[in-house]
A = this chain, B = another copy of it.
């Protein structure tokens, strides 16, 4: 009990699949107060609470869909401590960084993060997995968050600008989710006479199969570089179609 009382309080806004994963890995270090109107149980890693209580913690993590971020920021605004540290975990970084800077009070410190894993890929543990950390307001805080991720969570940390993140994620996530969406639409797919390369392809699909439509929308629509990447993919598909039909 003494250890628990000694832990700093952390507010978690959003307790969906990713919020729960966050609580599971941060609960050894923080006393987590989670708010989510849709949540009915706390998995033993957090205490479910009111928005006002969660938002008043010294550190507040926003684990909400990118498309719900602006509304969440407005909601937590009146409850935030003047020097709170606010962190988002969205799949894109340019848009959340801009929203947080625009909508949060001036004294509030802001760090953007993108854990490059999810409930599926992090199922067996997150040590060795990757996270992007973006400085938004105050360099020192981004460095502290990066150091925590590295030391406490054993993550591989990439400190990058929101722009550099989104440019790279447009390819990494944009292509993965687009290809997965096409393959999921073709199911049922063979499971019997498969090749090792097809098995890898389907493992990739399985890792994003249960991601919410909101994750797909964030990756494809809220990343300013996603359209360029997928248009290139579609153009190459058209060219391949022409080659194969014609030759």
Q: Among the interface residues A160, A193, A201, which one has the most CB atoms of the partner chain B within 10 A?
A: A193
Q: A13 CA to B33 CA in the complex, in Å? A: 70
**Smallest CB–CB gap between A243 and chain B, Å?**
9
Interface size class of A (residues with CB under 8 A): 35 or more
Contact with A240, one of B158, B182, B207, B227 (Cβ below 8 angstroms)? B182
Provide the residues of chain B in CB contact with A173, threshold 8 Å: 195, 198
Q: Is A192 an interface residue (CB 8 A)?
A: yes
Find out whether the CB atom of A172 lies under 8 angstroms from the CB atom of B190: yes
Given known A-B contacts A171-B190, A193-B160, A185 and B236 have beta carbons under 8 A apart: yes
Given known A-B contacts A172-B194, A200-B204, A207-B197, A186 and B121 have beta carbons under 8 A apart: no
Q: A160 CA to B192 CA in the complex, in Å? A: 11
Q: How many copies does the complex hold?
A: 2
Q: Which of A61-118 contact B (CB under 8 A)?
A: 116-117
Against B, the Cβ 8 Å flags (1 = close, 0 = not) of A143-173 are: 0000000000000001010000100110111
Contact with A186, one of B158, B194, B232, B241 (Cβ below 8 angstroms)? B232
**Smallest CB–CB gap between A101 and chain B, Å?**
22
**Smallest CB–CB gap between A184 and chain B, Å?**
10
Given known A-B contacts A186-B232, A200-B200, A244-B221, A192 and B168 have beta carbons under 8 A apart: yes
Provide the residues of chain B in CB contact with A185, threshold 8 Å: 236
Where the two chains meet, the residues of A that have a C-beta atom closer than 8 Å to any C-beta of B are 116-117, 121, 129-130, 132, 158, 160, 165, 168-169, 171-173, 175-176, 178-183, 185-186, 189-190, 192-198, 200-201, 203-205, 207-208, 220-221, 227, 230, 232-234, 236-238, 240-241, 244-245, 247
